[in-house]
Amino acid sequence: MKKLFTLLLFLSICIHTLLGGNSKKEKFGKIPLELLTMTVYEKDSNAHAVVIFEIAEYKVKYTENKGLICHIQQHLRIKILDKEGLGYGSFEIPAGKKDKLFGIKGITANYNPITKSVQNIPYDTKTLIIDHVNDYFDVYKIAFPQVKSESVLDLLFEQEIDNINYLPTWHFQHKIPAIISEITLKKPENIKYTLHVGGLLTILEEQGPSTYERVWMGNGNNATYKQDEYKYLIKDIRAFKTEPFIGCETDNMSLLDFERVNVHLPSTGEQFKELTWPLVSKLLMESEHFGDQMKFFRFVKSELELLKPKFKDSIQFANLILAHVKDKVKWNEKFRMLTTKDLDEVYEEGIGNSAEMNLLLYSFLKTADYPVYPFLLSTSDHGRIKSFSPTLDKFNHVIVLWMNKDGMKMMDATSKNAPVGILPRYDRNYLGLVVGDNMGMLLEPAQLNNRKTTVYNFTLTPEGKITGTITHLYDEERALYKRDELSDSMELEMKRKIRNRFEEAEIKNYTVSNLKEINEKLIEKIEISIPDVMEKSGSGYLFQPVLFNPLKENPLEENTRNYPIQFPIIHHDQMIITITLPINIVLLKAPENKYFYTEDKGMEYKYLFSESENILQFQIDQKFNKTFFDPSEYKALQLMFDKIVEMDNQYLIFSFKK
Amino acid sequence: MTTLPKIFLSIYLVCNGLNPLMAVNVIIMNKDEHFKIKSLKKATYTRTVSMLVNNKEGLNNAILKINYSPFITLKHFEAKVTEAGTDKPKKYRLKDLEDHSYFGFESGFHSDIRFKSFVPEIKNFPAIVKYSYTIELKGFYTITPWIPVPDFEVSLIHAVYEITCPENYAFKTKYFQFNGNPQTEHIKKGLKRIVFRLNNFEALKKEPDAPHPDELFPIVIFASEKFYFDKYAGETKTWNEIAAFNQRLLQFNEIALSPETRRDIGLLKNQYPDQKELLSKLYSYFQNRTRYISIQLGIGGYKPMSPRLVDTYGYGDCKALSFYFKTIMDEAGIPSYYTLIYGGNHPFKLSEDFPFMGSFNHVVLFGIIQTDTLLIECTSQKDALGSISSFTANRSALLIDGKTATIVNTPMLPEPVINNNIRINIDSNNKALINFKSSGNELYQDICQMNAGDRKKYLKTLEVFEKINIADIECNAGIEKTIQLHGFIKNYAIHIDKDLLIPIFPNPVPVLASEMKRTMPFECSSDQNTNDTLVIVIPAGFRLNELLKGYKLRSKFGEYQCNFKESENSIIIIRYFKSKKSTFNASEYTDYVAFSKNINAFEKKKITLIKEIN
């Protein structure tokens, strides 16, 4: 039943002429009869409800008492289409603690079959629930009255926001389809916003007529200022439906963010500045929660001396510093791009957010004369940074970039198991920003090979039993991920996985090498014997060489794809299988070698087989050479996975020599 | 610097008579709880715990979530956490706790209960966590239950639960897996103290299919004979008194139904003189004008919204909707009873001698039509009248008739019989084209109400269909509850040389149990009664090599039978599998594994077809 319509962005209102000036103003509570009798939304017959329109106005204005505020009005109309859609009869509207939400009006319109007319039931504001969720925001909960499976709901509300620097995000797209979604921004001409566009749908944009507004300044004075107007509209918006390998959902949902750039204040003479990446860097360098924390700290110098640098400017010493910072300060699991405390305090308390930990790491490295810079990121679940859309608001994390003669290396003190040059998965999100004096450039952290090699070395007995070893070698970020996964119960876990596949498997020995040596490859070795791996069938015996984790199903099974396909990292899975056969067994038919790839070799798959006397050898390579595939490449990828399913699940057939 | 090496854990366990070889997540060294009753209107509950958290898995047992409301105040909190490798504990106070509403925690639309949370920051294990907190209750229904061991893989050295109350404060006690004798003493004039103790409880290992934790861990629950809460005072010595209290909560000073609703009911009554038919129409009328929204406000969520408000707004929680429909039935002259019940798995069994307010989490109606009784679920806008699900079936419930209570049993669910008819054609690419018709599964009713996209997704989560790529589904939500689907499985058959190998089933019986050393009783997963008729069409140009032999297995865990026959150009496979939900001893587990393995081994076989040579 948790299908409430959460207005993650809230907005506005009274209806204006739509683009081109040919659409009509919708009156609150005036519901056309044909909307009530509609039972299916033709453009999406699976929809349980549809947004008829969602129209908002953000008006940033000067006020006598509060200075600049944003007044928001929003009008939303939803049609319920069946009983599954009844959950859309309740709304949850978040609002900042300092923001006011008022003027709530609601109507449930139902069809009266006796009079064949519309019956409007007003929302009773006495039933409004305000949930004080935490110190930062409340949620206004609105349950519409008498909602039925054919109802139409009309909701109107206003909001006043103090902080005009970041206006609420406008989501054009929801889990249900929408016919019209429109946002109008009105603002004094000297206040500029950068627009961040999300999703793939085309937003129609139009500049409206400017007007002049008057504001009382006190003492009988008033001032006039010019108000600009912009409209943004999408029609016929499909319901947002997630897809496999979609990355961060908010990167794909159509939305609009407004980030204030700066203000031209005639009184101070400050000039408007376009938000650029160098400006973002400059603003951070001037911040007491960022740049001011990059200063020299006496305690850092004395602690460094204790570390007794033997390999100055070396990767070994950088690793030593990184380990020292991780040892001294625990991450509080919060991603932040700004500090909340001075770094000496953080060091003393031994706990800090991601900015505090990594700016501390920066200070240590800088004091040790490493050419390092803070590197600003948006984590992988937080949406991507777009090069064409400079922002300060969209970052949530900072790590450290070391530029040396051999190139660049990144490091992140929040990851327990990541050495210098290796990044945890949450740091992999395309672009980040190098911050520093005269900096402000975007970079994508270099991708590594990230190889996982699995070596099966098996001997097959005449009784159909396999004995031998399985060795997994994890390199670079694959090693980090695996180390993060491993726990005290890793042996039990591994045994459970193997026994899920082969119940009778006997695991004789299990070792993990280099678990703590985070700069080294992680090696997992299993000595195993499995009885009855061959199935008697017809005239021969069947054996599946990809014994463990064959890809059973194509993960891309849908016929169509709306959004790009994204993988977190470039990676290479290699499997080398060696099987020594008993002398009385012969392979009836050798499998064919195969090599498949997508047009640009973004993905490759190679299957090589060789046979020498009684030894069979397979080498299977699966490579993802890029992380981002356009929807137009979907079919090719789908085909690749189809072939992998086929190859992974193929059997060899043996017969016994007589 | 002092550290907490792993050996510490072993020494500690040995010294306290516990097995050091047992890998535990947590050792509770001391757990001290004190429920202090000053009067019916005021009590405090204090808990002081020191524990050794051995690993990340044990961390959950150190996390606290302390509820509070207008009637419960958290008065005091302090905690200390000492991690391995440090001698300096990290200290926490009340101000360090995070405050939350239940928004975003799937608790329904709204509740006035909030919580404060304590999540110790531990990076290096083992760690010693000590905490203490006190809550003050302005009125309460009963004494907080005692659950000294909260989880699997948790050992306990010493726990004590102390209740201090006025001499005349009476309550009943019920023990689960606890046979200690509480000590009662008079501490000063008019006050008594009852103390429960538990020492050296060895951790229980988590094992699959184990009975519910309530049947494994020591638990003591208390049923007070009197209470005061939110201006309501009452007695709960008997079920009748609990009924009388609930009856009081159903009193409202307003006319229950609007004139329009009364008129509608009157019209229906005139139109449908037969009570059964009338009830069915009333239920549809009710379903069409209400929806379920959980709003829990005041008096601990016991008092429903008034029927008049439900009538006006068209929504309510289970109490409100049930009482509203009862009001409608009253208006129509059909008797019904407001009935308290536990919805979900593992219901609390009601007994005459232990009237307990905490036995319920849900409300339904019992309707009486002529001589038939009918359980009426009022929170669904879609289910048919009288339809019953595992949520409320086969359990005791408390039927309230004015000030009188009766313990009644809800109906058992009929034993499900699932019939599957499957036809498979193998194409030239070894793909199985599948036509699958299935009936009798309780879930199909819900599936039929989903749209096509959701149906497909849901079916893929069921083991029986998980391998099939579903192309289309037809649904019939009638009495038979039937679904029919068309789909395919790629690479189903294996083409080797001249042989074509075909698995026996696209829906094999899942592995029921895997080998392990069992220490606990286990529950056979569920009642199953499945009949499959599978037809595999022999592709042109092939012939059956040899008909597989049938297989039959019967044991206390169930019955399995599978037979094959060849008919014209097809192989017909008839399978029957029946298992009964019940609990067995740990010593029987080996037999259960063997039962599962034998079925599994049989079902792994493949049918071999041979290419015909012209």
Which CATH architecture fits B418-431+490-611?
Sandwich (2.60)
pLDDT at B9: 53
Q: Is the pLDDT of residue A7 over 50?
A: no
pLDDT at A262: 65
pLDDT at B315: 95
In 3D space, the residue among A652, A606, A605, A602 whose CA is nearest the CA of residue A630 turns out to be: A602
Instruction: Quote the tokens at residue A174.
Output: 């929801």
How many other CB atoms sit within 10 Å of the CB of residue B353? 9
Give A518-559 pLDDT, tens digit per residue. Answer: 999 999 999 999 888 887 766 678 888 898 888 988 899 888
Q: Could you give the CA distance from residue B339 to residue B320 in angstroms, rounded to a whole number?
A: 12
pLDDT at A487: 67
- Contact between B98 and B120 under an 8 Å Cβ cutoff? The reply is no
Q: Which residue of A has its CA nearest to B103?
A: A133
What mean pLDDT comes out for the span A460-475? 91
Task: Delimit the domains of chain B by residue range.
Answer: 6-223, 239-409, 418-431+490-611
Q: Which residue of A has its CA nearest to B600?
A: A503
Q: Is B191 in CB contact (< 8 Å) with chain A?
A: no
How many other CB atoms sit within 10 Å of the CB of residue A639? 14
Closest in B57, B453, B491 to A646, CB measured: B491
**E strands in A412-476:** 432-434, 441-443, 451-460, 466-474
Give B548-607 pLDDT, tens digit per residue. Answer: 999 999 999 999 999 999 988 999 999 999 987 888 999 999 899 889 888 988 988 889
- Contact between B544 and B609 under an 8 Å Cβ cutoff? The reply is yes
Q: Could you give the CA distance from residue B335 to residue B370 in angstroms, rounded to a whole number?
A: 10
Domain A279-443 has CATH 3.10.620.30: yes
Chain-chain contact of B514 with A500 (C-beta, under 8 angstroms):
yes
What mean pLDDT comes out for the span B84-105? 85
Q: Is the pLDDT of residue B458 over 90?
A: no
Chain-chain contact of B56 with A89 (C-beta, under 8 angstroms):
no
pLDDT at B416: 79
CA-based nearest distance A207→chain B, Å: 38
Kindly indicate the confidence band of residue A15, based on its pLDDT and cuts at 50, 70 and 90.
very low
User: A311-325, B14-28, B114-128, B298-312: which range is least confident on average?
Assistant: B14-28
In 3D space, the residue among A618, A588, A590 whose CA is nearest the CA of residue A606 turns out to be: A618
- 3-class secondary-structure state, position B196: strand
Kindly indicate the confidence band of residue B13, based on its pLDDT and cuts at 50, 70 and 90.
low
Q: Could you give the CA distance from residue A132 to residue B111 in angstroms, rounded to a whole number?
A: 11
Q: Could you give the CA distance from residue B587 to residue B583 in angstroms, rounded to a whole number?
A: 12
Q: Is the pLDDT of residue A1 over 50?
A: no
Among positive and negative, which fits the CA dihedral A541, A546, A550, A553? Answer: negative
Q: Is B56 in CB contact (< 8 Å) with chain A?
A: yes
Q: Is A539 in CB contact (< 8 Å) with chain B?
A: yes
pLDDT at A552: 83
State what percent of residues in chain B have pLDDT above 90: 57
User: A4-8, B164-168, B203-207: which range is least confident on average?
Assistant: A4-8
Chain-chain contact of B452 with A46 (C-beta, under 8 angstroms):
yes
Pairing of strands A178-188, A330-331: unpaired
User: A107-116, A596-605, B125-134, B159-168: which range is least confident on average?
Assistant: A107-116
Q: Is the pLDDT of residue B164 over 80?
A: yes
Q: Which of A108, A129, A324, A488 to mutate to test the interface with B (most CBs of B within 10 A)?
A: A488
pLDDT at A214: 84
Class for domain B6-223, per CATH? mainly beta
Q: Could you give the CA distance from residue B133 to residue B77 in angstroms, rounded to a whole number?
A: 4
pLDDT at A265: 42
Q: Which residue of A has its CA nearest to B502?
A: A537
Q: Is the pLDDT of residue A504 over 80?
A: no
Q: Is the pLDDT of residue B433 over 70?
A: yes
Instruction: Quote the tokens at residue A221.
Output: 């004075």
What mean pLDDT comes out for the span A574-603? 91
Q: Is A135 in CB contact (< 8 Å) with chain B?
A: yes
Name the average pLDDT for chain B: 88
Q: Which amino acid is at B572?
A: I
CA-based nearest distance A234→chain B, Å: 25
pLDDT at B18: 58
Higher pLDDT, A21 or B607: B607
Q: Could you give the CA distance from residue A181 to residue A237 in angstroms, rounded to a whole number?
A: 8
Domain A5-263 has CATH 3.40.50.150: no
Give A229-244 pLDDT, tens digit per residue. Answer: 999 999 999 999 889 9
Instruction: Quote the tokens at residue A563.
Output: 């959004």
Q: Which residues of chain B does A137 touch, with a Cβ-Cβ cutoff of 8 Å?
A: none
- Contact between A87 and A2 under an 8 Å Cβ cutoff? The reply is yes
pLDDT at B604: 82
User: A57-66, A416-425, A469-478: which range is least confident on average?
Assistant: A57-66
DSSP symbols for B59-87: GGGG-EEEEEBTTEEEEEEEEEEEETT-S
DSSP symbols for A295-341: S--HHHHHHHHHH--SSTTSHHHHHHHHHHHHHH-EE-S---SS-SS
Q: Which amino acid is at B475?
A: C
- Contact between B135 and B42 under an 8 Å Cβ cutoff? The reply is no
Q: Which of B111, B152, B451, B592 to mutate to test the interface with A (most CBs of A within 10 A)?
A: B451
Q: Is A446 in CB contact (< 8 Å) with chain B?
A: no
pLDDT at B457: 81
Q: Is the pLDDT of residue B16 over 70?
A: no
Chain-chain contact of B501 with A537 (C-beta, under 8 angstroms):
yes
Task: Delimit the domains of chain A by residue range.
Answer: 5-263, 279-443, 451-656
Closest in A46, A139, A535 to B453, CB measured: A46
Q: Which residue of A has its CA nearest to B500?
A: A538
State what percent of residues in chain A have pLDDT above 70: 92
pLDDT at B4: 46
**E strands in A113-148:** 117-122, 129-131, 137-143
Give A251-301 pLDDT, tens digit per residue. Answer: 899 999 998 876 544 444 545 467 889 989 998 998 899 999 988 778 898
Longest dimension (CA), chain A: 112
Give A161-218 pLDDT, tens digit per residue. Answer: 988 888 999 999 999 999 999 999 999 988 888 888 989 899 999 999 999 988 877 6
pLDDT at A16: 33
**Topology of A451-656 in CATH?**
Jelly Rolls (2.60.120)
Torsion of CA A37, A40, A41, A44, to 10 degrees: 170
What mean pLDDT comes out for the span B425-453? 84
pLDDT at B300: 64
Name the average pLDDT for chain A: 88
Class for domain B239-409, per CATH? alpha beta
Chain-chain contact of A535 with B288 (C-beta, under 8 angstroms):
no
